Amino acid sequence: IEREITSLQTEEKKLVAEIKREAKTGNEAATRILARQLVRLRQQITNLQGSRAQIRGVATHTQALYASTSISTGMKGATKAMVAMNKVPFLGTKSEFSKWPKSLELEYAIAKEQMAPAKQVKVIREFQKQSAQLDMTIEMMSESIDETLDKDEAEEETEELTNQVLDEIGVDIASQLSSAPKGRIASRNTENVAPRSEESQDVEELEKRLASLRRI
Protein backbone atom coordinates (compact mmCIF):
# COMPACT_ATOMS: atom_id res chain seq x y z
CA ILE A 1 0.00 0.00 0.00
CA GLU A 2 2.84 2.40 0.82
CA ARG A 3 4.41 1.87 -2.60
CA GLU A 4 1.07 2.35 -4.35
CA ILE A 5 0.42 5.61 -2.48
CA THR A 6 3.88 6.92 -3.37
CA SER A 7 3.36 5.99 -7.02
CA LEU A 8 -0.01 7.74 -7.16
CA GLN A 9 1.41 10.86 -5.49
CA THR A 10 4.15 10.98 -8.15
CA GLU A 11 1.49 10.64 -10.86
CA GLU A 12 -0.46 13.42 -9.17
CA LYS A 13 2.45 15.87 -9.53
CA LYS A 14 2.83 14.99 -13.23
CA LEU A 15 -0.89 15.47 -13.81
CA VAL A 16 -0.87 18.89 -12.12
CA ALA A 17 1.97 20.01 -14.41
CA GLU A 18 0.09 18.72 -17.47
CA ILE A 19 -3.07 20.58 -16.42
CA LYS A 20 -1.13 23.84 -16.20
CA ARG A 21 0.39 23.28 -19.65
CA GLU A 22 -3.01 22.63 -21.23
CA ALA A 23 -4.49 25.68 -19.50
CA LYS A 24 -1.76 27.90 -20.95
CA THR A 25 -2.63 26.73 -24.47
CA GLY A 26 -6.26 27.72 -23.92
CA ASN A 27 -7.63 24.19 -24.29
CA GLU A 28 -10.46 24.35 -21.75
CA ALA A 29 -11.94 20.92 -22.57
CA ALA A 30 -8.64 19.10 -22.10
CA THR A 31 -7.92 21.07 -18.94
CA ARG A 32 -11.22 20.04 -17.34
CA ILE A 33 -10.83 16.40 -18.37
CA LEU A 34 -7.39 16.28 -16.78
CA ALA A 35 -8.74 18.04 -13.68
CA ARG A 36 -11.42 15.35 -13.30
CA GLN A 37 -8.71 12.70 -13.60
CA LEU A 38 -6.81 14.49 -10.84
CA VAL A 39 -9.92 14.43 -8.62
CA ARG A 40 -10.31 10.67 -9.10
CA LEU A 41 -6.59 10.12 -8.52
CA ARG A 42 -6.73 11.99 -5.23
CA GLN A 43 -9.77 9.97 -4.20
CA GLN A 44 -7.81 6.78 -4.86
CA ILE A 45 -4.99 8.09 -2.67
CA THR A 46 -7.50 8.91 0.08
CA ASN A 47 -8.99 5.42 -0.13
CA LEU A 48 -5.56 3.79 0.11
CA GLN A 49 -4.62 5.99 3.05
CA GLY A 50 -7.85 4.91 4.76
CA SER A 51 -7.01 1.26 4.13
CA ARG A 52 -3.53 1.82 5.52
CA ALA A 53 -4.97 3.40 8.66
CA GLN A 54 -7.34 0.48 9.12
CA ILE A 55 -4.50 -2.03 8.74
CA ARG A 56 -2.45 -0.15 11.31
CA GLY A 57 -5.50 -0.07 13.57
CA VAL A 58 -5.90 -3.82 13.28
CA ALA A 59 -2.21 -4.24 14.11
CA THR A 60 -2.60 -2.03 17.18
CA HIS A 61 -5.69 -3.95 18.21
CA THR A 62 -3.78 -7.21 17.80
CA GLN A 63 -0.98 -5.92 19.99
CA ALA A 64 -3.51 -4.91 22.62
CA LEU A 65 -5.07 -8.37 22.52
CA TYR A 66 -1.61 -9.89 22.84
CA ALA A 67 -0.99 -7.74 25.90
CA SER A 68 -4.29 -8.91 27.35
CA THR A 69 -3.30 -12.51 26.66
CA SER A 70 0.02 -11.92 28.39
CA ILE A 71 -1.84 -10.66 31.44
CA SER A 72 -3.98 -13.77 31.45
CA THR A 73 -0.89 -15.95 31.14
CA GLY A 74 0.73 -14.09 34.00
CA MET A 75 -2.34 -14.56 36.16
CA LYS A 76 -2.29 -18.27 35.42
CA GLY A 77 1.34 -18.40 36.50
CA ALA A 78 0.52 -16.48 39.63
CA THR A 79 -2.34 -18.83 40.40
CA LYS A 80 -0.02 -21.78 39.97
CA ALA A 81 2.45 -20.21 42.37
CA MET A 82 -0.28 -19.53 44.91
CA VAL A 83 -1.40 -23.15 44.71
CA ALA A 84 2.16 -24.24 45.36
CA MET A 85 2.35 -21.87 48.31
CA ASN A 86 -0.85 -23.24 49.77
CA LYS A 87 0.69 -26.68 49.81
CA VAL A 88 3.45 -25.46 52.13
CA PRO A 89 2.56 -25.18 55.84
CA PHE A 90 2.56 -21.59 57.04
CA LEU A 91 5.77 -21.01 59.01
CA GLY A 92 4.80 -17.74 60.61
CA THR A 93 8.19 -16.11 61.39
CA LYS A 94 10.62 -14.45 59.02
CA SER A 95 13.39 -16.83 59.96
CA GLU A 96 11.21 -19.79 59.10
CA PHE A 97 10.21 -18.13 55.78
CA SER A 98 13.87 -18.19 54.80
CA LYS A 99 13.75 -21.98 55.01
CA TRP A 100 11.49 -22.14 51.93
CA PRO A 101 13.01 -23.63 48.76
CA LYS A 102 14.59 -21.01 46.47
CA SER A 103 12.29 -21.97 43.59
CA LEU A 104 9.24 -21.38 45.77
CA GLU A 105 10.57 -18.02 46.93
CA LEU A 106 10.99 -16.95 43.28
CA GLU A 107 7.48 -18.08 42.35
CA TYR A 108 6.10 -16.22 45.34
CA ALA A 109 7.88 -13.00 44.34
CA ILE A 110 6.61 -13.26 40.75
CA ALA A 111 3.08 -13.96 41.93
CA LYS A 112 3.16 -11.00 44.28
CA GLU A 113 4.24 -8.68 41.45
CA GLN A 114 1.75 -9.99 38.91
CA MET A 115 -1.19 -10.06 41.31
CA ALA A 116 -0.77 -6.45 42.46
CA PRO A 117 -4.33 -5.04 42.10
CA ALA A 118 -3.24 -1.49 41.27
CA LYS A 119 -1.02 -2.69 38.42
CA GLN A 120 -3.74 -4.89 36.96
CA VAL A 121 -6.30 -2.08 37.07
CA LYS A 122 -3.86 0.30 35.34
CA VAL A 123 -3.14 -2.16 32.52
CA ILE A 124 -6.83 -2.94 31.99
CA ARG A 125 -7.77 0.75 31.88
CA GLU A 126 -5.03 1.49 29.36
CA PHE A 127 -6.23 -1.38 27.21
CA GLN A 128 -9.81 -0.09 27.31
CA LYS A 129 -8.64 3.42 26.42
CA GLN A 130 -6.59 2.29 23.43
CA SER A 131 -9.37 0.00 22.23
CA ALA A 132 -11.91 2.85 22.35
CA GLN A 133 -9.58 5.17 20.44
CA LEU A 134 -9.01 2.48 17.83
CA ASP A 135 -12.73 1.93 17.30
CA MET A 136 -13.28 5.68 16.94
CA THR A 137 -10.46 6.01 14.39
CA ILE A 138 -11.77 3.14 12.28
CA GLU A 139 -15.29 4.60 12.35
CA MET A 140 -14.07 8.05 11.27
CA MET A 141 -12.01 6.60 8.42
CA SER A 142 -14.97 4.52 7.23
CA GLU A 143 -17.20 7.60 7.18
CA SER A 144 -14.55 9.54 5.26
CA ILE A 145 -14.24 6.80 2.64
CA ASP A 146 -18.03 6.59 2.25
CA GLU A 147 -18.25 10.35 1.73
CA THR A 148 -15.52 10.20 -0.90
CA LEU A 149 -17.30 7.43 -2.80
CA ASP A 150 -20.57 9.39 -2.69
CA LYS A 151 -18.84 12.42 -4.19
CA ASP A 152 -17.42 10.28 -6.95
CA GLU A 153 -20.93 9.19 -7.92
CA ALA A 154 -22.42 12.70 -7.97
CA GLU A 155 -21.61 14.57 -11.19
CA GLU A 156 -22.39 18.00 -9.80
CA GLU A 157 -20.17 17.49 -6.79
CA THR A 158 -17.45 16.14 -9.09
CA GLU A 159 -17.67 19.36 -11.10
CA GLU A 160 -17.33 21.37 -7.90
CA LEU A 161 -14.30 19.34 -6.92
CA THR A 162 -12.85 19.94 -10.38
CA ASN A 163 -13.20 23.69 -9.95
CA GLN A 164 -11.68 23.45 -6.48
CA VAL A 165 -8.72 21.53 -7.88
CA LEU A 166 -8.19 24.12 -10.61
CA ASP A 167 -8.29 26.90 -8.03
CA GLU A 168 -5.95 24.98 -5.76
CA ILE A 169 -3.25 24.53 -8.40
CA GLY A 170 -3.61 28.13 -9.53
CA VAL A 171 -5.34 27.61 -12.88
CA ASP A 172 -7.88 30.30 -13.86
CA ILE A 173 -9.56 29.07 -17.04
CA ALA A 174 -10.98 32.46 -17.99
CA SER A 175 -7.68 34.31 -17.69
CA GLN A 176 -5.78 31.50 -19.38
CA LEU A 177 -8.16 31.57 -22.33
CA SER A 178 -7.83 35.33 -22.69
CA SER A 179 -4.02 35.05 -22.73
CA ALA A 180 -3.91 31.93 -24.91
CA PRO A 181 -1.97 31.92 -28.22
CA LYS A 182 -5.17 32.17 -30.25
CA GLY A 183 -5.43 35.80 -29.13
CA ARG A 184 -2.02 36.52 -30.64
CA ILE A 185 -3.03 34.73 -33.80
CA ALA A 186 -6.08 36.95 -34.08
CA SER A 187 -3.95 40.07 -33.66
CA ARG A 188 -1.60 38.85 -36.38
CA ASN A 189 -4.55 38.39 -38.69
CA THR A 190 -5.62 41.94 -37.96
CA GLU A 191 -2.14 43.21 -38.78
CA ASN A 192 -2.18 41.28 -42.05
CA VAL A 193 -5.50 42.82 -43.05
CA ALA A 194 -4.13 46.34 -42.84
CA PRO A 195 -1.46 45.92 -45.57
CA ARG A 196 -4.03 44.39 -47.90
CA SER A 197 -6.22 47.46 -47.47
CA GLU A 198 -3.30 49.77 -48.35
CA GLU A 199 -2.51 47.71 -51.47
CA SER A 200 -6.09 47.99 -52.67
CA GLN A 201 -5.92 51.76 -52.19
CA ASP A 202 -2.77 51.93 -54.31
CA VAL A 203 -4.44 49.93 -57.07
CA GLU A 204 -7.41 52.26 -57.06
CA GLU A 205 -5.08 55.27 -57.30
CA LEU A 206 -3.28 53.76 -60.30
CA GLU A 207 -6.57 53.04 -62.00
CA LYS A 208 -7.61 56.68 -61.54
CA ARG A 209 -4.36 57.87 -63.09
CA LEU A 210 -4.77 55.56 -66.06
CA ALA A 211 -8.29 56.83 -66.57
CA SER A 212 -6.99 60.41 -66.58
CA LEU A 213 -4.30 59.58 -69.14
CA ARG A 214 -6.85 57.97 -71.43
CA ARG A 215 -8.96 61.12 -71.36
CA ILE A 216 -5.98 63.16 -72.48
Q: What is the pLDDT of residues 186-195, one digit of tens each?
A: 444 444 444 4
Residue 129: per-residue pLDDT: 72
Distance CA 17, CA 39 (A): 14
Give residue-wise pLDDT tens across range 59-104. Answer: 666 666 666 665 555 555 555 555 555 555 544 444 444 555 565 5
Asked if pLDDT for residue 51 goes beyond 50, the answer is: yes
Using pLDDT thresholds of 50, 70 and 90, give the confidence band for residue 197.
low
pTM: 0.39
User: What's the mean pLDDT in 38-47?
Assistant: 83
Residue 13: per-residue pLDDT: 87
∠ Cα 132 2 137 (to 5°): 15
Output helix, strand, coil percentages for the chain, rounded to the nearest 5: 90, 0, 10
Give residue-wise pLDDT tens across range 114-148. Answer: 555 666 667 667 766 766 666 676 666 666 655 65
Q: Give which of 14, 54, 31 is closest to 171, Cα–Cα.
A: 31
User: What's the mean pLDDT in 154-158?
Assistant: 57
